[in-house]
């Protein structure tokens, strides 16, 4: 249990009595002992039986089994988190492989789309642009004063679903739940935030139940000033915090990261976390194919911040293996709605130009495959079914083991399914996707598709930053994380096609990854605390455990 959590004997007077049963950090519900009930003035407010935490977890499992849809299960778990955080995390951590898809992708996508209709209890902080000049005041209303991790969104590009406005709050809430469930970051140190700058989604503007500002999105200098005020407020109130930017549109995501990455402890999970989990998948794939990273050629379907972020991290990893950055970038090609990024295009953003190469104009993805002859295709387009049978068959003709990564999520936006990739490649594909797919039986072999989920990266990064109080999050730290994830995949998993550690063991995997990142942070002089004799033991000792004190 984290030292920050209150113990039985130091609960303040304000936390006794009826209010205690409505404090998610300290509420135990039916697990309060008879002595505690008498001491805290809640005797008679609960049924007489005293449950163990294990019994409470079993009861929640039973309740979930009676529900018909994943969205209903998400809502039940959300309500549980609002009233008893210890029990919530005990449930999630009892079976992470089952519960991660319920509290985050893919279920969180539908939950965000319907957030305003299902709104129940407040969670996190909402900062509207109409409150500019007072953001520090609004932030100070949050009761916890030692915040180490903030996940913030402006709701403009939620997963592959687009502009959801304040309905996107489900993403920061879900991400921070995984910081705790997957890597042991104490939940009281986390804060989800939504910046409400309006929405351009007319469906929500017309919906009487929409909970955000009823105006179109603010752009330009006013938006930039709002972001700057927000960053300054965070730094003033929470100087040890790490700020994670989440689901911002490309036009804002890239400039924000460039503006602050060398000034504060911050990163963008869509750009850097996605890149690291893709690189981890590539390292795992190379353990199957027996090839070197510098021998690979990559073609991306999608040329936004995620695609360029993956391409840049791959390039930087190739530099560590002997290539120049120019040679490395020349092995990464990007394709978008207007075709291949090549030198005659005049519609490209600055962040895309490093991956714009001399090549004839090409409007067909299959033609691009035939011309470039990539060893891997990576989908970050958020457009479903773009990796069709022609695409997979073309990749399989030119590669003995083609790497097929449809990373768009939720599941409805995936560029292809696992079954399609294995069937159309005649079982040759090395496959991973952004959303989960079940095992596939093909030609007498059982393939276990991996999920290239950022959950392998950002929680471990968070625990490493917490353990070291790092002043920065750097690109190199993501390469360290990717290698650490790939190293943990067993040969048995590789033999079944699985290139990521099994999600059933993700807590242990994340803590191992966090230790590798932390070691790098200490070695680079980025830590604000002394290096412990045993980094792994230090991290495991800090990790949150869902139990009543």
What tokens appear for 430 in the block? 């090395």
Q: How far is CA 396 from the centre of its chain?
A: 31
- CA distances (Å), origin 122, targets 70, 193, 341: 22, 12, 44
Query: Is 175 an active-site residue?
Result: yes
For residue 256, give every residue at least 6 positions away whose Cβ sits within 8 Å of its Cβ, in sequence order, or none. 227, 245, 248, 268
Residue in 175, 261, 483, 516 annotated catalytic: 175
Whole-angstrom CA distances from 264 to 227, 457, 479, 536 are: 14, 20, 20, 26
Extended beta strands in 233-283, E state: 242-245, 266-268
Residue tagged 């073609």 (tokens): 299
Helical pair 458-468 and 506-523, crossing angle rounded to 10 deg: 50
> How many whole angstroms separate alpha carbon 469 and alpha carbon 373?
44
The string of DSSP codes covering 224-239 is: HHHHHHHHHHHHHH-T
Give the chain's end-to-end CA distance (angstroms, integer): 7
Cα 291 from chain centre: 29
Active site residue 104: yes
Q: Is the peptide bond before 106 cis (omega within 30 degrees of 0)?
A: yes
CA-based nearest residue to 249, from 268, 263, 273, 262: 268
220-237 vs 250-260: helix axis angle to the nearest 10? Answer: 40
Task: Give CA–CA dist 92/358, Å, rounded.
Answer: 49
Catalytic residue among 6, 7, 73, 104: 104
Element (H or E) spanning 366, and its range?
Answer: helix 365-372
Compute CA distances 213 → 11, 126, 130, 163, 164, whole Å. Answer: 38, 11, 9, 13, 12
Reference 100, options 72, 62, 74; nearest CA is 74
Sign of CA dihedral 363, 369, 373, 376: positive
User: CA distances (Å), 418 to each of 107, 343, 378, 405, 454, in order?
Assistant: 19, 34, 14, 10, 18
Give me the active site residues, please: 104, 175
């Amino acid at each position: 249990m984290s030292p920050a959590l209150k113990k039985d004997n130091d609960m303040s007077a304000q936390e006794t009595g009826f209010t205690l049963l409505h404090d998610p950090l300290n509420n135990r519900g039916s697990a309060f002992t008879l002595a505690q009930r008498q001491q805290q003035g809640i005797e008679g407010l609960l049924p007489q039986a005293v449950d163990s935490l294990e019994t409470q977890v079993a009861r929640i499992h039973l309740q979930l089994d009676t529900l018909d849809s994943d969205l209903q299960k998400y809502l039940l778990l959300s309500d549980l988190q609002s009233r008893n955080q210890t029990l919530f995390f005990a449930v999630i951590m009892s079976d992470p492989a089952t519960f991660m898809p319920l509290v985050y992708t893919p279920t969180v996508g539908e939950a965000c789309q319907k957030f305003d209709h299902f709104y129940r209890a407040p969670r996190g902080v909402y900062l509207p642009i109409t409150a500019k000049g007072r953001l520090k005041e609004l932030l100070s209303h949050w009761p916890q004063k030692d915040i180490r991790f903030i996940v913030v969104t402006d709701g403009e590009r939620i997963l592959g679903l687009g502009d959801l406005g304040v309905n996107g709050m489900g993403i920061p809430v879900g991400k921070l739940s995984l910081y705790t469930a997957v890597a042991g970051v104490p939940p009281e140190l986390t804060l989800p935030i939504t910046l409400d700058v309006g929405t351009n989604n007319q469906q929500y503007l017309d919906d009487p139940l929409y909970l955000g500002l009823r105006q179109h999105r603010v752009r330009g200098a006013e938006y930039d000033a709002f972001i700057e005020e927000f960053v300054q407020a965070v730094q003033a109130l929470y100087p040890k915090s790490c700020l994670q930017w989440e689901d911002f549109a490309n036009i804002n995501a890239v400039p924000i990261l460039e503006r602050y990455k060398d000034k504060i402890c911050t990163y963008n999970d869509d750009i850097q976390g996605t890149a690291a989990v893709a690189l981890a998948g590539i390292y795992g794939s190379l353990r199957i194919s027996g090839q070197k990273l510098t021998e690979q050629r990559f073609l991306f379907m999608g040329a936004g911040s995620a695609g360029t972020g993956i391409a840049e991290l791959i390039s930087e990893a190739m530099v560590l293996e002997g290539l120049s950055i120019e040679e490395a970038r020349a092995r990464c090609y990007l394709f978008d709605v207007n075709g291949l990024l090549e030198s005659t295009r005049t519609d490209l953003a600055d962040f895309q130009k490093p991956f714009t190469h001399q090549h004839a104009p090409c409007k067909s993805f299959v033609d691009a495959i035939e011309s470039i002859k990539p060893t891997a295709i990576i989908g970050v387009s958020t457009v479903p079914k773009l990796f069709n049978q022609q695409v997979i068959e073309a990749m399989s003709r030119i590669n003995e083991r083609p790497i097929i990564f449809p990373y768009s999520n939720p599941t409805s936006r995936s560029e292809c399914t696992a079954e399609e990739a294995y069937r159309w490649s005649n079982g040759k594909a090395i496959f991973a996707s952004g959303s989960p797919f079940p095992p596939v039986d093909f030609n007498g072999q059982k393939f276990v598709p991996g999920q290239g989920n950022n959950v392998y990266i950002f929680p471990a990064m968070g625990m490493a930053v917490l353990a070291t109080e790092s002043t920065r999050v750097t690109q190199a730290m993501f390469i360290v994380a990717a290698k650490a994830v790939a190293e943990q995949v067993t040969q048995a998993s590789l033999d079944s096609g699985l290139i990521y550690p099994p999600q059933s063991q993700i807590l242990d995997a994340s803590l191992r990854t966090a230790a590798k990142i932390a070691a790098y942070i200490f070695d680079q002089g980025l830590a604000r605390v002394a290096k412990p004799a045993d980094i792994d033991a230090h991290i495991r000792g800090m990790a949150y455990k869902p139990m009543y004190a």
